[in-house]
Structure 1
Amino acid sequence: MKILVTGSAGFIGFHVSLSLIKRGHEVVGVDNINMYYDPSLKFARLGELGITKEQASEHNTLCQSSTYGDRFKFIRLGIEEKNHLSVIFKTHKFDKVCHLAAQAGVRYSLENPDAYINSNLVGFSTILECCRHHDIKHLVYASSSSVYGLNKKVPFQEDDQVDHPISLYAATKKSNELMAHSYSHLFNIPTTGLRFFTVYGPWGRPDMALFLFTDAITKEQPIKVFNKGEMERDFTYIDDITEGVVKVMEKSEEERIKNNEYYKIYNIGNNKSEKLMDFIKEIEKHLGKKAITNMLPMQPGDVQKTWANIDLLIKDYGYHPSTTISDGVKSFTEWYKSYFKV
């Protein structure tokens, strides 16, 4: 297939692009490479896909991979740039779209709301309009476990009420699900939203806990532990996430139509909630260093516990995450030490 992957210089987008390429698909990646975190990491990810920093620095210019040839091309572009994006859809005639571009981060949304409105709402509407007018067979897009907000019932299930988001980031992700539903209903566009649960692993984002903790412990600096460590997360390793996304992307349209799947929402997680302090112990073990902990109260917009019920994804796609926390953290710390030459 020919697939558009938005956010292809991002953490999940990079891994999904690489997996699709290796499975024989042709991928066109789009990313604006913004300054939310150090863009050198984004350029390095693209380097792994065969796109140089010089190539990726040019705005709205199609670059071809030196490693994967025609199977990967890249364009630096913001998804809210409707006119440019429409041309890309018209030129490349994609079969499917994997939309992973978004302004991420719960805490950042408290200080920079405009970034979330532009990328997560305006940008998402642009993607929907392009899919509508260019005969896209399936749109798979990133939602988030954040939509569950103040939900007290665990594990979180797709049919739980998600009407009480506690951050603007979560509100935009819930909005994406509603917008997708309306386009599926009005224009028969098959859409699938994936609610990601705390993704971690090599090439991860520097604003995520594993990266922050590893960096601080390595440099013998204190780590910030919110809610005094009384936190639990459904940590999901990037290879397990990638496997799930690719399974959804590769499902045949005949089977999708047969099952009347025009609008679906799935949790995609590890199906297990881990204590934050146990997670920190694994980092300490693999770094061979003890953390200096700074115990702090709960942060605005944060939740105490997440836990994904993934029965639907298991039933429909045979999804089975298999990476333990110990193995996943080990892979990340090994990548971290190699990347930063520690």
Structure 2
Amino acid sequence: MWFIVDDQMADDRRIRRLPLATVGLWVKLCVIHSKGISMQAKDPAAYPGYFDKLDLKDAGGTMKQLQQLIDMGLMEEHGGGWRPVYAEGICKEPKTLTEEQREARRKAGSKGGRRKAANQKAKQPSSNLLANSQANGEQNGSETGSETSSNLLEDSQAKTWHKTDTDADIPSPTPPASISKQTDTPDAGFDRFAEAYPGSVGLKGRKTEAEARALYAAIAGNPVELGRLQTALRRYKHAVNDGQIRTGHIPRLNTWLRDQWETWAPEPISPPPIHKHTWNCEHVHQLMDPHEDEYDHTGSLRNGNPSEWWKACQACAEELNQQQTSKEKQ
């Protein structure tokens, strides 16, 4: 995926008002986000859709610079972090191709390449066609010495023109039988994760590799935790590539999964608190206010003698709470 900068970007007043270092940070953050979106198209857990404070630090930026970008309308808060705002005259939103579109482009490129080769072959001089035909005949053993040069030339030209005029008989390339598409099984997920890890995993089947596989499976069972793990690996690789962690200090994968990965992961997002209905909450009022005149309001809850209106509202709140509990169990 490409991060596309408009050719009028340098003349835009929003860019001209920013320090040069902040503009450079904006470019780096936009590239990080575009790369993450590209990874997300292949693996939704690889990127949460925004960059966070650690990504900002890895890019060499500060919160002051980020605030400058937000004030200029070039960044916005999203999820647990921030993402670029694609503004007219500055940058354009990148396009993510689906797997079907990628495959269609690959086939179109392959078909165009075959057609170009056929056209070039059709334009060769007769002497080259004759030489190629004779060479093919000697290699395959399909031509005999009794055939004349004119027949060889005619056969070669006929084959070439046939390929030039139609693509119906040109076979599409098929992948080798040994190459199989990756599946989303836990083992395949671990293999891809282990391949991306910058350190050692250990010999397959040995204790360290088996422990790492079991730890990964326990984490990957929860989609939320798997997303945090993927982010933690991405951050850890950044730190290794930037030299923050020496190569000799990288632990084996089982040790990292057991003791260190959570220190590199974003904070878990706590679920929103569940609303508990009370006799005076807005949901009860929406249901009961149209019938308020049907109940007696005399009484005092403080004195232990609640009114009929309070009892009806309280019963409504309890019924709403029971319905909510039933939905959560389902």
TM range (shorter): under 0.3
More strand by share: 1
Q: Which has the higher contact order (CA 8 A, sep 6+)?
A: 1
More helix by share: 2
Q: Using structure 1 for the length normalisation, give the TM-score.
A: 0.25
User: Which protein has the larger Cα radius of gyration, Structure 1 or Structure 2?
Assistant: 2
